A and B are shown apart, each in its own frame.
Chain A
Amino acid sequence: MAQVPPLPIGGATGGLPGAGPGQLSVETTVDQERAIAQPGVKADELAGAPELGFWKLAVIRFLHHRVATGALLILGVIVVAAVVVPIITGNLYSIQDYRHPYKAPFQSFQHLLGTDELGQDELARLLRGARVSLMVGILAVVGYLIIGGGLGALAGYYGGWLDNALMRFTDIIISMPFLLVVIAVTAATGGVRLSTVIIVIAATGWFEIGRLMRAQFLVLREQEFVQAARALGASNTRIILRHILPNALAPIIVSATLGVSGIILLEAALGFLGYSIPPPEPSWGNMLQNFEEYLLSDHTYLVIFPATALVITALAINLVGDGIRDALDPRQR
C-alpha cells in the first residue's frame, strides 16, 4: 500500500500532546528536535546512515529477485533486438523470395528461421512484429495512465458525479465481451490502422488503472500529511501532484506493467482476427492468421515461432511486474 512519509515532527512519544507537563508541545522545530535528541547521540549521527531513497531501495530489492531480474534481461534482449535489428535489415520482412517459400528453419544463414508461404524471412518478420507488439503495448499503457490515472485521481480526490460516472463506466465495460467491443469500435472508427487499435485499446481498457488510482486517492486524501499540506495553504493541484501522486504511484506502476502484457496479448488476438495492422506489415497476431494452412501442411515452425515469441514476452513482462510489486511493497507477499 501507500508509503506514508513520517510526520515532520518526530520523537517516539515526545510530540504527543498530553504526554506530560515537561514534554514538548506539538510545535517544534528541527533544531529543537536535534537539541533534545537522546543523550549521547550527536545531532549529525542521526543522518549518518547511508541515505537510500525509497526508489533506490526498490531497485536493490528488485535486483535481489533473481527470476524477475532474469525476466528483465530477456525482455531487454527482446526490446533491443526489436528496436535495432529492423533498422539494419530494413524492409527484409516484406521482400518476397519466390524461389524459397516454406524454407525450413536453421538450414541457412540467409533465412535463419526459414521463410513463410510468400518466401518472406521469418526472423525479420518476428522482430518487426515484436516492434508492433511492444509499441502498441507501451503506447496504450501510456493512454491508460493518462486517461485512467487522470480520471481516477480526480474521481478519488473530488468524488461527486465524476466518481459515479467512473464506477458506472467500469460496470458497463466489465459486462461487455471486451474483444467484441474493441472490434466493433475499431471497425466503426475506420478500420484497421495501428493508431486506431492503440486508441481504441487505451479508450476502453483504462478503467482498471482508473479504479486503482481512485482507491489510492480515496485513502490518501484523508491522511494527516495531506491535511498538513492543506493547512499550510497548498492548492488542490499542488496537493494532488506533489503530495498524493508520489505516494499513490507504487500499485499503479505494477498495474501498468502487467497491463502491457495484457495489451500485447489483446493486440495479438485482434491481429489474429484481422483487426490489427494489415498484412504486408507483420504482427505476431496476423502471422498466426493462417495457422490452419501451416498445421495442415506440416509447416509447424511458422506457428511455433510467433506463438512462442508472444508467450515468452507476456511471461517476461508479468514476471517483471511481479518483481516490481515485491520490490515496491515488501510487506505484501
Chain B
Amino acid sequence: MTFYLVRRVAIGIFLLLLMSAIFFTLTRITPGAPVSVGENPRIHQDQVNRRLHSLGLTDANGNPYSIPESYVRYLGALVHGNLGDSYQYNEPVTTLLMQRLPNSILLLGAALLVALGIGIPLGIYASTHQYSKIDMTTSIVSYIGVSIPSFVLGIYLLLIFAVFLKQSPLHWGFPLFGMHTGGVDDPLDLLIHMVLPVTSLAILQIAIFSRFMRASMLEVLHQDYIRTARAKGLAVERVNYKHALRNAILPIITLVGIAIPQIVNGAIITEGIFSWPGTGQLAFGAVVDRDYPVILGVVMLVAAGTVLFNLIADVLYAVADPRIRY
C-alpha cells in the first residue's frame, strides 16, 4: 500500500510537471504580447520595458527570457507558491485564486452533494422498481440531462426563473445577474443566489449518478448471493438495502473522482453565466481577456485537484472494498 501510494504520488507529480510544461509553452508561443501598448507613441519604451520586467518576462537588461529559461523560473516561483502576476488585475495569481477558491468550493461542493443526494436514491429506486413509471421517467430525464451542456442549461434556467416567471407568483426572487452581497453573513441571500447555478451544475451529474447507480445495482441484484439471501427467506428490503446496496454503491466512489473535474469544467462557464465570484468566473474572464498567467494558474489548480481527488478516490475504494489489494 505504501509503495502504491508513493508510486501514485510520483506519477501525479510527473503528470503535473508535464502538463505545466505544455501549458507554459502554449501560453508563451501565443501571439499578442501582454504589453501591446508598446505601439502607443505616448508611452515611453522605458516604461514598457519596466512593465515587461515586472511581469517577469525580461531580465534586468531588458532581454527576454527564452521559453525553457522562463519555465524554470516559473517552476522555481511555483515552489514558493508564486504563480506570477495577472495581466488584468495587476495582482498575484495566487491571491486571486485564494480569494475565489472558497466561493468555488462552496458552489461545487453543494452541486456535488445535491447530485449525490438525488442521483443515488433515484438510481436505487429505479433499479428496485425496474420498468416502473419512475424508472422510465428517470431514464428519459437523465437522457436529456446528458444532452444539454451546463451552459445552455444555465441560460435556460435564467430564462425560465428570472425572466419568464418575473411577473408571476412563482418568481422566488432569483436574481438575473449579480453576485451575492451578504456572503456567509446572509445565508438566505446566499442560498437564493446558489439555487440556479447549483441546479445547472448538478443536473448532468444527477443524470450520470442515477444511471450508473441503477446499472450497478441491477448487476448486483442478479448475482447468486442475492438469490441465496432471498432463498433463505430474508425480506426484500433487507436484501436490497443491506446486501445489494453495499456492493453496488462502491463504484460510485470512483465515479465521484471522475465527476469532480467534470463539474469544474462545467463551472468555468456556469460561474461566468451566473456571475458567481469563483475560480471558474476568474478563468472565464481570463479566457475572454486572454490573461494567460491566470489561465495557467487555474489549469494548474484544477489539474492538481484532479490528481489528488483521483488518488483519494482510489485509496478510499481500497479501504471500502477489502477485496482490492494494491
Q: A: which residues have CB within 8 A of B? A: 171-172, 174-181, 183-185, 187-188, 190-191, 261, 265, 268-269, 272-275, 288, 291-292, 295-296, 298, 300, 303-304, 307, 310-311, 314-315, 318
B residues near A (Cβ < 8 Å) are 11, 15, 18-19, 23, 26-27, 29-31, 143-144, 146-149, 151-152, 155-156, 158-159, 162-164, 176-177, 261, 264-265, 268-269, 273, 283-284, 287-288, 290, 292, 295, 298-299, 302-303, 306-307, 310
- Of A174, A188, A296, the residue contacting B176 (CB under 8 A) is A296
Docked complex Cα distance between A190 and B29 (Å): 9
Q: Chain A residues near B292: list those with CB within 8 A.
A: 184
Q: Is the CB of B156 within 8 A of A180?
A: no
Say whether A171 contacts B269, CB under 8 Å.
no
Check if B307 sits within 8 Å of A177, measured CB to CB: no
Which residues on the A side are within 8 Å of B287 (C-beta)? 180, 183, 273, 275
Contact of B299 among A184, A274, A318 (CB under 8 A): A184
**A313 and chain B: residue at smallest CB distance:** B147
On whether the beta carbons of A184 and B148 are closer than 8 Å, the reply is no
Question: Do A180 and B27 touch (CB < 8 A)?
Answer: no
Assess the A174–B177 pair: CB atoms within 8 A: no
B298 touches A291 (CB 8 A): no
Min CB distance A178 to B, Å, is 6
The answer to whether A177 and B268 have CB atoms under 8 Å apart is yes
Nearest-neighbor residue (CB-CB) of B299 within chain A: A180
- Flag if B31 contacts A190 (CB, 8 Å): yes
Q: A175-B307, A183-B287, A184-B26 are in contact. Are A295 and B162 (CB under 8 A)?
A: yes
Q: A272-B269, A274-B288 are in contact. List 8 more A-B contacts (CB 8 A).
A: A172-B15, A183-B295, A187-B30, A261-B147, A273-B288, A295-B162, A307-B152, A311-B147
Are the CB atoms of B265 and A177 closer together than 8 Å?
A: yes
Contact between A295 and B269, CB atoms less than 8 A apart: no
Complex A-B, nearest 7 residue pairs according to Cβ-Cβ distance, in ascending order: A188-B26, A175-B306, A315-B147, A265-B149, A188-B30, A314-B147, A177-B302
A190 to B26 Cα, complex, angstroms: 11
Please name the residue on chain A nearest to B309 by beta carbon. Answer: A175
Give the complex CA separation of A314 and B147 in angstroms.
6
**Nearest A residue to B267, CB-CB:** A177
Contact of A191 with B31 in the complex, beta carbons under 8 Å: yes
Are A176 and B19 neighbours in the complex by a CB distance under 8 Å?
yes
Chain A residues within 8 Å of B143, by CB: 315, 318
- Is A295 within 8 A of B27, CB to CB? no
Task: Determine the distance from Cα of A176 to Cα of B30 in the docked complex, in whole angstroms.
Answer: 19
Contact of B147 among A174, A175, A295, A318 (CB under 8 A): A318
Q: State the Cβ distance, A168 to closest chain B Cβ, in Å.
A: 8
